[in-house]
Structure 1
């Protein structure tokens, strides 16, 4: 079996059941299709909203192996496709909402990411990726599983977390598992991976040499559907801060000065909780890349304008309000937004997103 076929087989094995479509809550700037649905925690009917709360600018966010990260097929022999810039050294940050509405979106991300990585790798002779999925609400949701409501009295974490093993791994949970912006290595709760991640190198992110990179990405990105309303933009700033990336930080070694930074927001609602304005988010990210905005590719899979008939369980943009995450990515010269209601995300990632990464690598010249 070729590597490409092996990858396809791995993707087929990624299918996750979506047992019950979670209920939607909506925020300013987005409208969801009214419906009633059952989630792991509640049953509710969604409503529409079209006003936007202002973000306060005064507060700030908190403080080697040889194999390719996703074990892709080697690039075709077309000479040296590597541009003079990043040369395939790329740091990927995924900021994924864990609201009760996100099970389908997480499945689609997991199914599309390996193909995205393969598309990019084929453009670079020396593809070297770091991949992190960050804590977007500053909590470890396994605490709910271990509470009297479930593990202590019922011996399990409910029908949407059947793989969670009560008490077995709690001694592995520490400060970084509850830190905003820290890499996730133990997602727990409803529709989460529910096992600690075994990452090569002992980091909170995937690096080259990972024995099963597809499964590793599933582990870190299947964040579940029992999170608080997350400050996604603020969590991104925290993930790239000197505090978290320094030698003693939770994400130590993740952010490399000579690597292109690619960040991806995935949220089916408005980011109401982030305090930092789009400009302050932009300023912090560019500062983390040494002042070079060409060193960043900004992607988001978020609600878009409704065209045609609405899909059940989908959330749509509600103009004239501009979504916070859309405003953030639009400040970067290399940016693209995908539709959170799309039937699949592979088209977005393998098309415009991958092309932007290649363009940015041609422009970014590490100093």
Structure 2
């Protein structure tokens, strides 16, 4: 038995019906966006097609040929596409603005169930999981500043685990590079310790012995960040230089893997300079031009329905949102409500269904 595969495969075996070991519990319907978590029916706006009507008509119109003296047709094997076979690269771009406390908690609580749902479809689930730097800075600099460590001896009441000066010698260029994988989140509400990821990469791989804690380490980005350009940061994370042998994310992006990116932000992405089309062009270039190789997800403000939740941001009055425009560039896309009490219904419903459908259409080059 190979090492634990992001917590799900060990519990699920090869798609067994036994109760998985990392359940997220019952889903809670969001305020402005709902997704079903009870089945794998498609609830998104996928526009992919399969099969060919021309092939079908050609086959049905071939009855004029004589059937005498014909040999049995050769065994061509399974004609269906190879698909991603569970090889999936997940990119999380998470705002670290001061308003993002509960959103991080909900993401971390929801991810295990999302991974379980996907792993249930793939006996050889082989994920890479990265949470990227969207600020072009190491946020621990604020902890080490005169406002905190130098004068107070700590990083404030919301960063009790941060140890002043202890790990600063481990911070280097990639910790201050936009698009690089985060392995040392610091500051208020952050993990506040370096991530010791299996394999020594800036992302989680299938053999990670404690994937839940590892994801918490990379995704609990804290609230010491700027109003960051999430769309631009996604593009930075997928460049050849970033993923090449000498890049910060060396080996993360695999040509034969499905790419799933998740953008999480509770305000408009005003800081990104790239248009939605340019973001799409960059992502398509990273995936060899294959639109079936990408699933685009965003958890962002939605229209206000019913009573508002205190502290939440809504798209009210309704207006265009850059991150929505970005994901709508891709056939497989969906958006969830950043104000939802639980992200599990979104992830385990429409999002997981999109991954399954895209994998069935994706033909690795």
The aligned runs of 1:294-333 (5 Å cut-off) are 294-333=292-331
Give the one of 70, 73, 86 matched to 2:7: 70
Corresponding residue number in structure 1 for 2:103: 105
Corresponding residue number in structure 2 for 1:278: 276
Aligned CA RMSD, in angstroms, stands at 1.5
Question: 1:84, CA displacement in angstroms?
Answer: 2.4
Task: Give the TM-score taking structure 2 as reference length.
Answer: 0.80
CA gap of 1:152–1:331, structure 2 versus 1, over 3 A, is: same
The aligned runs of 1:18-29 (5 Å cut-off) are none
Q: Given that residues 71 and 213 in structure 1 are in contact (C-alpha distance below 8 angstroms), is that contact kept between their aligned partners in structure 2?
A: no
Question: 1:150, CA displacement in angstroms?
Answer: 1.1
Corresponding residue number in structure 2 for 1:195: 193
Corresponding residue number in structure 2 for 1:222: 220
Structure 1 CA distance, aligned partners of 2:309 and 2:198?
Answer: 40
Q: Given that residues 264 and 301 in structure 1 are in contact (C-alpha distance below 8 angstroms), is that contact kept between their aligned partners in structure 2?
A: yes
Select the structure of larger CA radius of gyration: 2
Question: 1:101, CA displacement in angstroms?
Answer: 0.5
The aligned runs of 1:235-246 (5 Å cut-off) are 235-246=233-244
Structure 1 CA distance, aligned partners of 2:222 and 2:318?
Answer: 31
Question: 1:83, CA displacement in angstroms?
Answer: 6.7
SS at match of 1:94: strand
Q: Deviations over 1:237-265 (max 9, x none)?
A: 00000111011000000000000000000
Structure 2 CA distance, aligned partners of 1:320 and 1:208?
Answer: 41
Q: Given that residues 181 and 248 in structure 2 are in contact (C-alpha distance below 8 angstroms), is that contact kept between their aligned partners in structure 1?
A: yes
Question: 1:320, CA displacement in angstroms?
Answer: 4.7
Report the number of matched residues: 301
Structure 2 CA distance, aligned partners of 1:197 and 1:214?
Answer: 12
Question: 1:352, CA displacement in angstroms?
Answer: 0.3
Question: 1:148, CA displacement in angstroms?
Answer: 1.3
Corresponding residue number in structure 2 for 1:254: 252
Task: Give the TM-score taking structure 1 as reference length.
Answer: 0.80
SS at match of 1:317: coil
Structure 2 CA distance, aligned partners of 1:149 and 1:341?
Answer: 32
Structure 2 CA distance, aligned partners of 1:317 and 1:163?
Answer: 35
Q: Given that residues 83 and 361 in structure 1 are in contact (C-alpha distance below 8 angstroms), is that contact kept between their aligned partners in structure 2?
A: no
SS at match of 2:314: strand
Corresponding residue number in structure 1 for 2:337: 339
Structure 2 CA distance, aligned partners of 1:299 and 1:150?
Answer: 36
Corresponding residue number in structure 1 for 2:29: none
Question: 1:71, CA displacement in angstroms?
Answer: 4.2
Q: For structure 2, list consecutive stretches of 5 or more residues without a partner in the other structure.
A: 18-77
Q: Deviations over 1:15-49 (max 9, x none)?
A: xxxxxxxxxxxxxxxxxxxxxxxxxxxxxxxxxxx
SS at match of 1:218: helix
SS at match of 1:149: coil
The aligned runs of 1:167-182 (5 Å cut-off) are 167-182=165-180
Q: Deviations over 1:185-231 (max 9, x none)?
A: 00000000000001000000000111111000000000001100000
Question: 1:309, CA displacement in angstroms?
Answer: 1.3
Corresponding residue number in structure 2 for 1:161: 159
Structure 1 CA distance, aligned partners of 2:14 and 2:97?
Answer: 38
SS at match of 2:259: strand
Give the one of 354, 357, 360 matched to 1:359: 357
Q: Deviations over 1:122-145 (max 9, x none)?
A: 000110000000001111110010
Corresponding residue number in structure 1 for 2:182: 184
Q: Given that residues 160 and 191 in structure 1 are in contact (C-alpha distance below 8 angstroms), is that contact kept between their aligned partners in structure 2?
A: yes
- Structure scoring higher RCO (CA < 8 A, sep ≥ 6) equals 2
Q: Given that residues 298 and 332 in structure 1 are in contact (C-alpha distance below 8 angstroms), is that contact kept between their aligned partners in structure 2?
A: yes
